[in-house]
Amino acid sequence: MSTRNNGARLLSTSSPAAPTSAVLVLHGGSANSTMDVSRFAPAVLRLIPVAWAIAAHVPNAAVYRLKFSVRGWNGDGAAVLGDARWAIDEIARAHPGLPIVVVGHSLGGRVAMHVVGSSSRADSSAARSRVVGAVGLAPWVDPADPVDLLRGVPLAVVQGTRDRIVPEPSTRAWLARAAQAGARIDSTLIDGAGHAMLRYFRRWHRLPSDGVNTVLAAVEQPAPRA
C-alpha cells in the first residue's frame, strides 16, 4: 500500500467495499537491534496467517500489516512507535472515522499497548484518536510501561503457558496496573503453547479474530462507571 521513507511498509490484507472498522497487525522483533526488517523474517511471516484469519472472521474490517523499519525496541521504542503511528495515520486517511484495533505479537504487542494506552490518546492527531483497543499476542510488556490513559480501553491478551521468551508471569505486573487504571482486559491462556505461536497454531490464528470482535463489542458498550 505505502512505504515510509525509513523503510517501514504498510501492506493491505483485505479491503472490503464498505468496511466498518480497521485492524493493524504488528509483528514481533527483539529488545535491541537496529537491523532492517526483511519481509521474509520469521517474525513477519508468522503474522501473515493471523492477518488472513482476522480478514476471514471479521469480514467488515479493513486489515493491514506493518513491516517495521528496524527489528528492535532499542531503549525507548522510538523507531517502532513512530512506524506504528505513521501506519495508523495512513489507515485513518484511507478510512476516515472508522475505529481502529491494533493487534501485535511480542514486541508488536508492546507497541500496540503503547499506541492505545499513551501516545495515541495524548496525541492531538484525530487519526490516532481512532485507536479504540488492542489485542496482544504473547505481548512483551514492561512493568513500568504507561497505563495512565487506559481507563475504559478494551484489551484482549492471549498467552501460552510455556512461553520462555515472554513468560506469562512476567506480564502480570503490567496487566495488574492496567486493570487498576481501568482497562477492560479479556485474557486467554493456551495451555502448553509457546512464544512462536506454532503449537496449537489454529487457536493462535482464531483467537486474534475473537479479540478484535471483543474489542469492537466493548467499544459499543460503554464501561460501567466506577
pLDDT of residue 4: 85
Amino acid at 84: A
Q: Which residues contact 159 (CB under 8 A, 6 or more apart)?
A: 138, 139, 166, 168, 171, 187, 188, 189, 190, 193
* Assigned C-alpha cell, 205: 490464528
pLDDT along the chain (226 residues), means of 10: 88 96 98 96 97 97 98 97 95 94 98 78 54 97 94 96 98 98 97 97 96 93 58
pLDDT of residue 160: 98
The three-class DSSP label of residue 163 is: coil
pLDDT of residue 130: 86
Domains of the chain: 2-220 (3.40.50.1820)
